[in-house]
Amino acid sequence: MGKDKYEHDLIKYGWPEDIWFHVDELSSAHVYLRMPKGLTIEDIPKEVLIDCVQLVKNNSIQGNTLSGPIKIVAVERKMNEIVNRLEKTKDERYPDLAAEKESRDTEERNEKKAQIQDLKKKDKDGIKKKRELDELNSYSSLMTSDNMTTTEDGNDSDDFM
């Protein structure tokens, strides 16, 4: 959670799958929920969603006094019990957001490289199999000098069978 509107590192080093919570049209802290790849806001458990919006509301001077500011989720007035529960488990960290972002980006680049290499390998294997199949379907392997006989080899019969 960012403390104020000047804490832009959370935006600057955010990940594409991060979900950003903020009180609509009012000043407030920003809450970011880091989602696993492939999941969206619809996959957030309702309890976690309520916790995030209550934290945003609690850290907004104007939003804190309103009964139900709405952006995506209506925030009820039972804020104190939720915020108090969250405060008891609060763990403040100051991670190196730039390093985390770079690490994540490196991992994503490596995954894409692996996918490209896999596609190239599949293409290469496909081309090799096609060549083998083409060779089997052609007569080139039959029409070699090793497979042919002449009358000089003692085959002087006119019988083709």
pTM metric for this prediction: 0.50
pLDDT in tens, 23-32: 777 777 788 8
- Cβ-contact 71, 23 below 8 angstroms: yes
Query: What is residue 66's three-state secondary structure?
Result: coil
Element (H, E) at 19: strand 18-21
pLDDT in tens, 93-127: 888 888 999 999 999 999 999 999 999 998 888 89
